[in-house]
Structure 1
Amino acid sequence: MADEVLSTTIPRGDRAGWRDIAGPLVERVLGRVRAVLSVARPVTWVLIAGAVVLWIAGQALGWWELTVAALVIAVTLALCALFLIGRTAYDISLDLTRTRVVVGERAVGALTLSNPGTRAILPSRVVLPVGSGRGTFSVRRLAAGDSAEELFAIPTQRRGVLQVGPVSVVRGDPLGLFERVHRRDEPVDLFVHPRTVLFAGQSLGFLRDLEGLPATDLSPDDVSFHALREYHPGDDLRHVHWKSTARTGTVMVRQYEETRRSHFVIGLSRSPADYRDDAEFELAISAAGSLGLRALRDSQRVEVRVQGRSLPAATGKQFLDSLSALEPSRPREGGIVPLAGVVAATLALASVVVLVCGSAVDAAQLRVACSRLPYGARALAVVAQTDAAPSLRRIGEADVLTIGSLDQLAGALRKVLA
């Protein structure tokens, strides 16, 4: 019967349009209701329930004490709710002097609030989320056109990417029963880069390659022609330039520029099973970052592989940003041995491959991992072992370097290149 009445009052063809109109309206009403209810803290709902119970019990039992207690709670709630009244229409500007810092440095910023309206804004609290924590600022009363600036510093004890903001303006009562929050501005990402060290010279050299880049070193035998020079005893007669010899009357030979292949690959394990603790993992990331930055400064092509993906490394800033966001992998993604297999399968033309892992990887695993690397590539394994003395050993065709701190990396590499 209800369907018949509905069909006679609203044509079937108009029902879909009616839903399109009523749906957004209902959503707006529900949104307003949720906004009103959200201003009450959990303890407030407990007090409201307590006041209702006391009122009902006082009326039912005739105990005026319970009724008075319910009235006192209700009056207190009403007075606290009055603190929510007032405008919070600030113009907010969040400015970080640097959005990229090294772990251990402090990120300094400023929070500017201004009143663009024609009426004063009562004192408020401003909350600035920083990662999992937050900072709170008390803002004085701002007259029309007035502004206030709050300076802050963010300490960085750990590598990571911290989201700073969005800024929230909070109006509430002294008892903390009600709180009205208005979010302003957009969050800003703060990149906390791992600590790295600089060292001079090309980190691990190049391999000569027919399709490589010309270098400044001259060679008697290559494919990039440079100039002609006089013949010296011992020069290969195949490189004699006979036309110039006939014209000058002096035996002239070709001189070449060496061409070098500069495809530098870093395989950084992020498997928790390859490290004894978090300190080793952070040391490995810092070592990989230092090696990658050195290779980029040497104008080498740098590729970085970790379990499950590659890291952007076209520039130093991009490389350090990707290291900042690096987290340990899942156990099913494997350790250093499967990672070496991925490097061999995807980067077969690498000239230098550096595997970076922790001290939980034994010599047998390192041997298998290095044996999987691309044929002809120079292999180096860097083992992070906190508080260990630097050491160099040979496993198969690879040099294995153990470092106990980041400051040992430059000196240990000199032993490898010696």
Structure 2
Amino acid sequence: MTTEALGTAIPSQDRRERLEATTAHAAHWLRGVLRVVRPAAWVLIAGAVVLWIAGGALGWWELTVAAVVITTLLALCALFLIGRTAYDVELDLTRTRVVVGERAVGALTLSNTGTRAILPSRVVLPVGAGRGEFEVNRLAPGSSAEELFAIPTTRRAVVAVGPVSVVRGDPLGLFERVHRKDEPVDLYVHPRTVLFDGQSLGFLRDLEGLPATDLSRDDVSFHALREYQPGDDLRHVHWKSTARTGTVMVRQYEETRRSHFVIGLSTNPGDYRDDEEFELAISAAGSLGLRALRDSQRVEVRVQERALPSGTGKQFLDSLSGVVHSRPRAGGIVELGALIAATLPLASVVVLVCGSTVDANQLRQACARLPFGARTLAVVAQTGAAPHLRRIGDADVVTVGALDQLAGALRKVLS
């Protein structure tokens, strides 16, 4: 490329970059303008244009007067957009975790840290799919306003509170300028749970582990004696047998499986009669998991499509707050049993939780697919039913009609 051609190409590239920057700025400005104009204003703008054109073309002064009135109204309403909304916004929830039925209380603090007053405005606080609105009066420099609010909770969920939006608009709702402030806060609405006494899960405890078929040189479960081999720990020499046989004999141990409490919660909508039954199952699973965590057991929770965090009680309840129905193609309780066997083969205790539409044959198949040697309990949620116990294969099956029946139903398993 010659020097003349290079000199021509550089200005052309600069012009193209400036044109792209100008176009992007204009598009951003246009999007801002379009967001300000409400649908009612667009109707009036279109009507004003039609009246101006018709009045000029037909010579009807009545149409022209109507066009002037509408245009003046639009201009006056647009003046309400002028002004600052530079609040410092602080959203404070006294508790970010509540149980279904409790009210979450919070405060919204708006501060004017500028040197000029802020005209009256409207503050919108989104809460999940709904929203709350607060009218804020004129705020002088250095002043602040606090709005208290309460969020009723009727269903288990993870509710996003915020972000706060400061709205400046006209009384007729033709124009609206929105500035979003602060960051959203997650409110965890935990399922209801019931506390068990110390013996409620006694039949499920496995503090010493379950024996496996593998043999080990060092464990807690003595299995047999064998001849010494190079590398064996001399602490395990059985001296009495050595003196009697004249051959160095060492103890051989049977490996034990660490206590591993697994909860399989079916989220397939076909396993439940209605949403109330689904919520009962989640509450039962939460109650069992919390009891196991208090007993210092290792707890794993599986649903059809993922594992739920369950390292602590708070983490476990937080994860249950966000549980929803899985896709039907993810399978039901039988497929969940197979998933547990594939991902948690060393589980020592497995509790399956499902709804009343699961029949005895499906429960039998699900329990048959669980890890070999694991103790099995199935909890069937059936709203309104009397608690009862039955045996399906090697598993105890407990049916509960309400959450407060769970502890008593489990005691029947012990008796």
TM-score for both structures, normalised by structure 1: 0.85
Counterpart-to-counterpart distance in 2, 1:163 and 1:287: 25
Residue 144 of structure 2: aligned partner? 147
Stretch of structure 1 that moved more, 35-44 or 335-344: 35-44
**Following TM superposition, by how much is the alpha carbon of 1:20 offset from its aligned partner in structure 2, in angstroms?**
4.4
Distance 1:121 1:310, change over 3 A: same
**Following TM superposition, by how much is the alpha carbon of 1:417 offset from its aligned partner in structure 2, in angstroms?**
2.3
> What is the CA deviation profile of residues 331-350 of structure 1, one whole-angstrom value per residue up to 9, with x for unaligned ones?
11110000000111111111
Moved over 6 A (4+): 7-10, 240-243
Residue 135 of structure 1: aligned partner? 132
The size of the alignment, in residue pairs, is 376
AA matched with 2:345: A
Please say if residues 206 and 351 of structure 1, whose CA atoms lie closer than 8 Å, have aligned partners that are also in contact: no
Secondary structure, in 3 states, of the residue corresponding to 1:307?
A: coil
Please say if residues 206 and 260 of structure 1, whose CA atoms lie closer than 8 Å, have aligned partners that are also in contact: no
**Following TM superposition, by how much is the alpha carbon of 1:97 offset from its aligned partner in structure 2, in angstroms?**
0.6
Counterpart-to-counterpart distance in 2, 1:14 and 1:401: 81
Please say if residues 204 and 375 of structure 2, whose CA atoms lie closer than 8 Å, have aligned partners that are also in contact: no
Residue 323 of structure 2: aligned partner? 326
Stretch of structure 1 that moved more, 140-149 or 196-205: 196-205
Counterpart-to-counterpart distance in 2, 1:349 and 1:305: 14
Stretch of structure 1 that moved more, 203-212 or 65-74: 203-212
Superposition pairs for residues 13-412 of structure 1, below 5 Å? Answer: 18-202=15-199, 203=201, 204-207=203-206, 208-209=208-209, 223=221, 261-412=258-409
> What is the CA deviation profile of residues 217-262 of structure 1, one whole-angstrom value per residue up to 9, with x for unaligned ones?
xxxx9549xxxxxxxxxxxxxxx9979xxxxxxxxxxxxxxx8842
> What is the CA deviation profile of residues 134-161 of structure 1, one whole-angstrom value per residue up to 9, with x for unaligned ones?
0000011110100000000001111111
AA matched with 2:407: A
Counterpart-to-counterpart distance in 2, 1:267 and 1:194: 17
Secondary structure, in 3 states, of the residue corresponding to 1:299?
A: coil
TM-score for both structures, normalised by structure 2: 0.86
Counterpart-to-counterpart distance in 2, 1:24 and 1:379: 66
Counterpart-to-counterpart distance in 1, 2:263 and 2:391: 19
AA matched with 1:106: R
> What is the CA deviation profile of residues 162-182 of structure 1, one whole-angstrom value per residue up to 9, with x for unaligned ones?
111110000111111111101
**Following TM superposition, by how much is the alpha carbon of 1:29 offset from its aligned partner in structure 2, in angstroms?**
2.4
Can you give the 5+ residue segments of structure 2 that lack an aligned partner in the other structure? Answer: 213-218, 223-237, 242-255
Secondary structure, in 3 states, of the residue corresponding to 1:11?
A: helix
Counterpart-to-counterpart distance in 1, 2:16 and 2:332: 55
AA matched with 1:406: L
Distance 1:388 1:19, change over 3 A: farther
**Following TM superposition, by how much is the alpha carbon of 1:53 offset from its aligned partner in structure 2, in angstroms?**
0.6
Please say if residues 379 and 399 of structure 2, whose CA atoms lie closer than 8 Å, have aligned partners that are also in contact: yes
Secondary structure, in 3 states, of the residue corresponding to 2:209?
A: strand
AA matched with 1:306: V
Counterpart-to-counterpart distance in 2, 1:411 and 1:318: 27
Counterpart-to-counterpart distance in 2, 1:20 and 1:161: 45
Secondary structure, in 3 states, of the residue corresponding to 2:70?
A: helix
Residue 232 of structure 1: aligned partner? none
Stretch of structure 1 that moved more, 196-205 or 351-360: 196-205
Residue 249 of structure 1: aligned partner? none
**Following TM superposition, by how much is the alpha carbon of 1:59 offset from its aligned partner in structure 2, in angstroms?**
1.4
Distance 1:53 1:412, change over 3 A: same
AA matched with 1:81: A
Residue 251 of structure 2: aligned partner? none
Counterpart-to-counterpart distance in 1, 2:20 and 2:128: 37
**Following TM superposition, by how much is the alpha carbon of 1:27 offset from its aligned partner in structure 2, in angstroms?**
1.7
Stretch of structure 1 that moved more, 393-402 or 30-39: 30-39
AA matched with 2:175: F
Aligned-residue RMSD, C-alpha: 2.4
Secondary structure, in 3 states, of the residue corresponding to 1:180?
A: strand
> What is the CA deviation profile of residues 270-316 of structure 1, one whole-angstrom value per residue up to 9, with x for unaligned ones?
00000010001111111001100100000000011101111110111
AA matched with 2:287: S
Counterpart-to-counterpart distance in 1, 2:404 and 2:239: 52
Please say if residues 382 and 400 of structure 1, whose CA atoms lie closer than 8 Å, have aligned partners that are also in contact: yes
Residue 414 of structure 1 pairs with residue 390 of structure 2? no
Counterpart-to-counterpart distance in 1, 2:66 and 2:240: 115
Can you give the 5+ residue segments of structure 1 that lack an aligned partner in the other structure? Answer: 1-6, 213-220, 225-239, 244-258
Secondary structure, in 3 states, of the residue corresponding to 1:84?
A: coil
AA matched with 1:177: L
AA matched with 1:38: R
Q: Percentage identity across aligned positions? A: 73
Please say if residues 267 and 355 of structure 1, whose CA atoms lie closer than 8 Å, have aligned partners that are also in contact: yes
Please say if residues 289 and 323 of structure 1, whose CA atoms lie closer than 8 Å, have aligned partners that are also in contact: yes
